[in-house]
Structure 1
Amino acid sequence: MRTNNSTSIKPFSASEDRYDNMQYRRCGNSGILLPVLSLGLWHNFGHSDDFDNARNLLRTAFNQGICHFDLANNYGPPYGSAEESFGRILKLDLANYRDELMISTKAGWDMWPGPYGDLGSKKYLIASLDQSLKRMGLDYVDIFYSHRRDPDTPLEETMGALHQCVQQGKALYVGISQYSAEDTDRAHAILKDLGTPLLIHQPRYNMFDRWVENGLLDVLGNEGIGSIAFSPLHQGVLTNKYLEGFPKDSRAMKDGRYLKKEQITSEILEKVKKLNAIAEARGQNLAQMALAWLLKDERVSTVLIGVSKTQQIFDNVKALENLAFTTNELDKIEEILK
């Protein structure tokens, strides 16, 4: 990981008022309260990224009351490097605050060669969590997720592996990500029978991607499962970033893996402009309104933000100043999105 001059960074002491401005929400029917904004380490924490910047991002987030940090085994690049960077920062800055932190990781996508480094077998999940703990220098994570549904492995085996991780003391809670409503219902039932509650589901959810509204949110609400929405800004499309063109440092120009320039069509940009006008009338920027729009539903426990600059953390937290929507605003948004 690129380092500017980490020795020049002062020792970290968290702000005494760090919890004053953040809001916290119950995660399903559990004893856990999560900050309504959580920090994801999907991007900007790999070995090719600036370590000092990553360190400042985590410090700033924690000082804003964001105490939930979300990782996965293959975050980087290269795979595993985000966990390694997080482990270094934890040791340097946050070790004294470990009991205040909610740290999660996942396994389910390709991680190492061969038949046991991907998907949902017990062999893969148990080995991956052991590797993740070693990279981060932890005895346990707070949440361990099955990162995706493996269609070829019995759900009983995948959920049994999550249960075993809790029984072994390697995870306090378990979750799933991007599971369908039907599979979520089944996963919940299997884990309930085993005696390990399903704490949380992490789906992709934003104004432009609303698949969770077709049954999944109902399952989560009915069964008392929390949720954490990822990609709330649709990889940066739900901001004012692309209204005047394509900035050179934007994700569409720098990294085509998750957002390609040609995906941002004139039709999408027209919708973004109209949504931006509503946000401005609310006294917010579009990113802030997009976060607030997700949090209007109490079944959404927290929203996962990804940032590259500390200022973006402050901007995102400002969204909490106006989470309420009028009926007229919601009607206008629906008219644009349909």
Structure 2
Amino acid sequence: MSYQAAVNRYEVMPYRRCGRSGLKLPAISLGLWHNFGDNKPYDNSRAMLLRAFDLGITHFDLANNYGPRPGAAEETFGKVLKQDLRAYRDEMIVSTKAGWEMWPGPYGEWGSRKYLMASLDQSLQRMGLDYVDIFYSHRPDPETPMEETMGALDAMVRQGKALYVGISSYSPEQTVEAAKILKELGTPCLIHQPKYSMFEREIERGLTDVLAANGIGSIAFCPLAQGLLTSRYLDGIPQDSRAAALDNHFLSEQGVALQLTHIQKLNELAKRRGQTLAQMALAWALLTVTSVIVGASRVSQLEENVGAVANLSFSAAELLEIEAILAST
């Protein structure tokens, strides 16, 4: 049976203007990082993508190396787009990135024009697209001149292969430089994608001010701290969790133990607000950023995350309580 999008898909999700651009992003965006590769059932990936669109998620965030296997997430997205979503392409924001290692040799990572342009062409082929809505420099390159990296982004827009461009994980100082070069080239920087959550607040130390001053939007990755800001770790590390399976310092047994009291206290506040911990954490992040990128391994998880938009406001007392919890030892 062919897919028909829900007629009420725009009734709940808030859409927020991205910086000083004309583009609006959904408050909740879907990231295709870990759960859309070759190692996951295609039917589940397809179900999550279609349900996301039915829930008003119009922005799908990818990168060249997302999988696993690198490139597999873009291939999965391209297959669903061809099978189900092609008629809705103009209702969707598709973003991808390049900057991390993608293929062997000196031209397969970082920020050279050679790598970025080739990577975008490969991404378009994997997804079956003529253009992406947003292309990001996935990380700053300490050796390639900023003018070359930003020049490549400008060229993508002028060639019609990207509508907008952005940067990810750039420092405040690097962001100022990148924004200045792009403005002079005539292709403004649309958006910055930093890591941000209750447990990762580096962007508050300068970056948010830079973005506001330059009219640049923001979209947070890891807003749930790789799952710590969910009910999953309230009683420690489940045996089937990423923390148990991966060599990850932040999600190690010690790392979870350091945050366990904070997680439990934040969960109590979330209950009083009528939300899950994940929903409250997303709502809190949305006080600062334009949109948040959520990952999901199943449809029910995605539905829970989207439920955050039902209550995006905080009282002054609640915000003070959150700060007190996070500062406690």
Give the TM-score range, shorter chain: over 0.9
**2:284 partner amino acid:** W
Q: Closer, same or farther in 2 for the Cα pair 1:120/1:258, shift >3 Å?
A: farther
Residue 313 of structure 2 corresponds to 324
Match of 1:107 among 75, 87, 98: 98
Alpha-carbon distance between aligned partners in 2 of 1:265 and 1:13, rounded to the nearest angstrom: 42
Residue 305 of structure 1 corresponds to 294
In percent, how many aligned pairs have the same letter?
61
Alpha-carbon distance between aligned partners in 1 of 2:6 and 2:100, rounded to the nearest angstrom: 37
Displacement of 1:259: 5.2
Residue 210 of structure 1 corresponds to 201
Residue 335 of structure 1 corresponds to 324
Residues 1:191 and 2:182 aligned together = yes
Displacement of 1:263: 4.4
Residue 21 of structure 2 corresponds to 30
**1:39 partner amino acid:** L
Q: Which runs of 4+ in 1 moved over 3 A?
A: 254-260
Residues 1:12 and 2:3 aligned together = yes
- Conserved? CA contact 1:149–1:178, under 8 Å: yes
Structure 1, residues 210-243: CA drift from partner, whole Å, max 9, x if none?
Answer: 0000000001111110000000000000111111
Residue 63 of structure 1 corresponds to 54
- Conserved? CA contact 1:71–1:82, under 8 Å: yes
Residue 6 of structure 1 corresponds to none
**1:42 partner amino acid:** W
**1:20 partner amino acid:** E
Aligned residues: CA RMSD: 1.1
Residues 1:222 and 2:199 aligned together = no
Q: Equivalences for 1:236-255 in 2 at 5 Å?
A: 236-255=227-246
Structure 2: gaps (5+ residues): none
- Conserved? CA contact 1:191–1:198, under 8 Å: yes
Q: Closer, same or farther in 2 for the Cα pair 1:259/1:90, shift >3 Å?
A: farther
Residue 276 of structure 1 corresponds to 267
Give me the TM-score of the superposition, normalised by structure 1. 0.95
Alpha-carbon distance between aligned partners in 2 of 1:96 and 1:256, rounded to the nearest angstrom: 42
- Conserved? CA contact 1:251–1:259, under 8 Å: no
SS at match of 1:235: helix
**1:141 partner amino acid:** V
Alpha-carbon distance between aligned partners in 1 of 2:240 and 2:26, rounded to the nearest angstrom: 29
Match of 2:169 among 170, 178, 185: 178
Larger displacement relative to structure 2 (107-116 or 244-253)? 244-253
Structure 1: gaps (5+ residues): 1-9
Residue 7 of structure 1 corresponds to none
**1:34 partner amino acid:** L
**1:15 partner amino acid:** A
Residue 224 of structure 2 corresponds to 233
**1:284 partner amino acid:** Q
Larger displacement relative to structure 2 (90-99 or 312-321)? 312-321
- Conserved? CA contact 1:144–1:171, under 8 Å: yes
Residue 42 of structure 2 corresponds to 51
Q: Closer, same or farther in 2 for the Cα pair 1:319/1:40, shift >3 Å?
A: same
Displacement of 1:258: 7.7
Residues 1:131 and 2:122 aligned together = yes
Q: Equivalences for 1:145-164 in 2 at 5 Å?
A: 145-164=136-155
Give me the TM-score of the superposition, normalised by structure 2. 0.97
Residue 131 of structure 2 corresponds to 140
Q: Closer, same or farther in 2 for the Cα pair 1:257/1:136, shift >3 Å?
A: farther
Larger displacement relative to structure 2 (81-90 or 237-246)? 237-246
Displacement of 1:321: 1.1
